[in-house]
Amino acid sequence: MRRRVVVTGLGLVTPLGTGVEKTWSAICAGESGIGPITRFDASGYATRIAGEVKDFCAEDHLPKKEAGRTEHFIAYAVAASRMALEDSGLKIDGSNAARVGVLTGCGLGGLSLLETTTRVLDARGPRRVSPFFIPMIIGNMAPGMISIYLGVKGPNASIATACAAGTHAVGEAYRMVQCGQADAMITGGVESVISQTCIAGFNAMKALSTRNDDPRKASRPFDRDRDGFVVGEGAGMLVLEPLESARERGAHIYAEVLGFGMSGDGFHMTAPPPDGDGAVRCMQAALDDAGIGAESVDYINAHGTSTPMNDLYETRAVKAVFKESARRVAISSTKSMTGHLLGGAGGIESVFTALSIDRGLIPPTINLENPGEECDLDYVPGKARRQDVGIAMSNSFGFGGTNGTLIFKSCRE
């Protein structure tokens, strides 16, 4: 049994705002959510900028007693899931709770709390470590708390595949609904690791932009002057369910999930292969799963990190898969505005991709002023583009050579 699976609910917490409409409006206006780091004193760091969530109040989404002791990534995931479930109109009760599940992607979990707890341990000893420490740092506590707060009791898991985690979560949730393992899934990605060790670690790798004097222009995918990615935080969650039940409920259908592909580079700890081989096989696997050719795709939400290697190699991969269609397809990187949410990237970018289909509007790649060498495709520079999007692709590629691609389709029939 292969049921058709559709997106009926969306939720977002991003550096551009809390809520789908606030973030989407900013994305389509080409606004940047990047600014100076305020979470800690970053004056001694090579990178002093990030995409921080600025307007979030945990008490608006969690019980007051729990809000103060819930790690950011968990609170973001719960909030975005509440939004998505409310948006979907799906009601959870005793008749369906065991058939509705949660599957999220998260790369690093509670890294910030790990830092502060280590300091407490060193300064004050083991008796001062909070009993909530372990539950609050593990990545699977995001879907765990979503399940508790929303009352869903179906499949419950978290995927930790670095920057591909959110995409892998949506893809695996799609398969669960498709094959009948669940009748609905709340799925997406989350991350909140704007912390000293995170910034220091990526700086040591020389992976981050150091354009500290002009934060809004720091994330510049496919541009000649790109110098690294910018860490972002937040969550993007979707509700997936069978097409038939969505129609029976009269739910608004944003898009259909048409295909999912995965691959491994088998090449390097952090660098993709220069020919984009892993990305090529991943995109092709998703196209094969969807049963379509590359020429059918109207838009690609690119991984587009703003690092010298990724943008070039992803471009080469698109050319290899799309061939003569490569110069026709619209491509953009929303990371130019949100920064890179790591394990949460695939979650928010799946939401953006579904919205591009639903609204007929392709987000821009901002800060693309002088295309880099070989970066000569249509990256929708500067301004959003009004265009009907029938089929769209979203790419995520992670450290360790782990890749994920999703394909979404308009469900207007």
410's CB contacts (< 8 A; 6+ apart) are: 255, 256, 357, 389, 390, 391
Radius of gyration for the alpha carbons in the chain, expressed in angstroms and rounded = 20
Grouping H, G, I as helix, E, B as strand and the rest as coil, residue 200 is helix
SS3 224: coil
The single residue of 61, 72, 168, 303 carrying the catalytic annotation is 303
Kind of pairing, strands 35-36 and 49-50? antiparallel
Q: Is 340 a catalytic residue?
A: yes
- Return the residue matching tokens 């729990």: 66
Cβ atoms of 52 and 37 closer than 8 Å: yes
The answer to whether 188 and 394 have CB atoms below 8 angstroms apart is: no
SS3 7: strand
Q: Which residue has the tokens 């690791």?
A: 193
Structure tokens given for 27: 């994305």
Residue written as token pair 């510049």? 220
Catalytic residue among 198, 340, 375, 411: 340
Whether 117 contacts 133, CB under 8 Å: yes
From 163, 198, 282, 411, the catalytic residue: 163
The C-alpha atoms of residue 158 and residue 170 are separated, in whole angstroms, by: 11
303 in active site: yes
Question: Helix 308-322 vs helix 277-290: angle between axes, to the nearest 10 degrees?
Answer: 40
Kind and range of the H or E element at 114?
helix 111-124
Residues with active-site annotation: 163, 303, 340
